[in-house]
Amino acid sequence: MYNIIILNHFYGYPELEDEFINKQRYAKLLKLVNIANRNKTIFLENDVSKKDKRLASIRKISEVYGHKWLDFKDNHTIKDIYKIIQNLCGISINPENSKIILGGTNTSGCLLRSANIAAKNWAKLNYNVQFCLSMCGEYEIDGVNSAEKNQMAASILYQFIKNNNFTNKIDAFYDPRELVINFNN
């Protein structure tokens, strides 16, 4: 089983998130890098490590471990992601041989619903989609702090999954170690 880890807008807008959330997301990404099977894991990021030194450093460490990192653009579709993975890794992904793991920002927007490569679009194609909530950050929802914003985003995520009958397609975990059960398959 391939693990396609999509870091959509991972950098986000640090000014709209508190320091703890930002530090936590990068620490949990590094944890994921440490436990992910290098032969079965592909990281995709939307070309932000060029301006994000922390993400660039994590990417370098991960590539030393043997993980593949690929770039995508905001306007790319899932079909474009298929082509990128096929052309650069020689792998044809499908719902039977791959799962999608999401981290980044904006949990209830780009990651869940609004981006071309959002969870809802993968789920409609019958992929198993997993959110790693400790690697997600919410900044667009009104709230007094990052904790409240992320709680609201988790609620929106839950309601969206329930209301769209995605309970067998979209799941959410907090700690990357919860995902590791499937990393070695």
Residue 127 token pair: 């992929």
CA 124 and chain centroid, separation: 17
CA distances from 71 to 30, 41, 82, 162 (A): 18, 14, 12, 32
Tokens of 22: 């930002």
pLDDT at residue number 181:
52
Predicted confidence (pLDDT) at residue 19 exceeds the cutoff of 50: yes
Mean pLDDT in the chain? 93
Question: And the tokens for 30?
Answer: 């590094």
Amino acid at 148: E
Q: Sort 165 into a burial class: Cβ within 10 Å, 0-12 / 13-18 / 19+.
A: exposed
CB 24 within 8 Å of CB 17: no
Question: Mapped to the 3 state alphabet, what secondary structure does 129-167 carry?
Answer: EEEEEEEEECCCCCCCCHHHHHHHHHHHHHHHHHHCCCC
d(CA 30, CA 134): 12
Do the beta carbons of residue 111 and residue 105 sit within 8 Å?
A: yes
Q: What pLDDT score does 180 carry?
A: 61
Q: What is the pLDDT of residues 35-74, one digit of tens each?
A: 999 999 999 999 776 789 999 999 999 999 999 999 999 9
Judged by average pLDDT, the poorest of 17-21, 74-78, 89-93, 95-99 is: 17-21
What is the token pair recorded at 113?
């619903």
In angstroms, the CA 69 to CA 71 distance is 7
138-172: pLDDT as tens digits: 999 988 999 999 999 999 999 999 999 999 999 99
CB neighbours (10 Å) of residue 39? 10
pLDDT at 13: 86
Could you tell me the CA-to-CA distances from 32 to 3, 25, 47 in Å, in that order? Answer: 11, 11, 19
- Residue type for position 136: C
| pLDDT given at position 183 | 53
Does residue 113 carry a pLDDT above 60?
yes
Residue 39 CA: distances (Å) to CA of 57, 124, 137, 150: 20, 27, 28, 32
Output the pLDDT for position 48. Answer: 72
Q: Does the pLDDT of residue 184 top 80, yes or no?
A: no
Predicted confidence band of residue 185 (pLDDT cuts 50, 70, 90): very low
